Amino acid sequence: MTDNSGSGPEERQPSAKSRRVNIGVTTAIAVILVALVITLIVLFFVVTPYVVSGESMMPTLQDGDHIMVRKVGFTIERGDIILFDRPNAEYPPVKRVIAVAGDTVMFNGETWVVNGEALEEDYLLQTVYESDYVSPFTCDSTEIYEMITNGFTLGEGELFVLGDNRNNSYDSHNYGAILSDWVIGKVVNVY
């Protein structure tokens, strides 16, 4: 009979150097994974990249421009550019906010008037509105046409948005105010 209790080949113990290398590799992998998780959290919950589709925001944004949209911790003010999820839209539109809740909006045939003052829109190329820019034929309903030409006040949680390329933008002048609940985020960077 043979006694195997302790006799035989010795088990190899990793050297101190080998253990340090293993700890270093494990730490590096953990740091990379944590960085990846933080990046994904930021991208999905704080900011998100988006590619502009269409020419409705020219000259400010071009078709194919890449933008970063902040999804949390922002307020919406007149002049901000937002990304929103409009029901039945092919893709989330990007538009400029020209009026917020409580503002009175109207189109006088030549310019947009908010709270009795013509908008100063130096971000636009010189725009000469087409004769049917605001008409019963370009608005989604006669009610919207009458509201826009007579003036109306935005209710709580409503925004009025327009594309910077006014003659080639499907926006609030066609479909009326949007709900602030539809806003995905505020454009914070073009890259």
Catalytic positions, please? Answer: 56, 95
Q: Where are the alpha helices (DSSP H) in the chain?
A: 16-41, 142-150, 172-175
Residues 69, 15: Cα–Cα separation, whole Å: 51
The one-letter amino acid at 36: L
Q: How far is CA 165 from CA 95, 170, 177, in A?
A: 10, 10, 18
Q: Interior CA angle at 116 toward 110 and 121, to 5°?
A: 50
CB-CB contact of 158 with 180 (8 Å): yes
CB-CB contact of 92 with 50 (8 Å): yes
Judge if the upstream peptide bond of residue 59 is cis by omega within 30 degrees of 0: yes
Contacts of 102 by beta carbon, 8 Å cutoff, 6+ apart: 153, 154
Q: How far is CA 119 from CA 53, 112, 116, in A?
A: 26, 6, 9
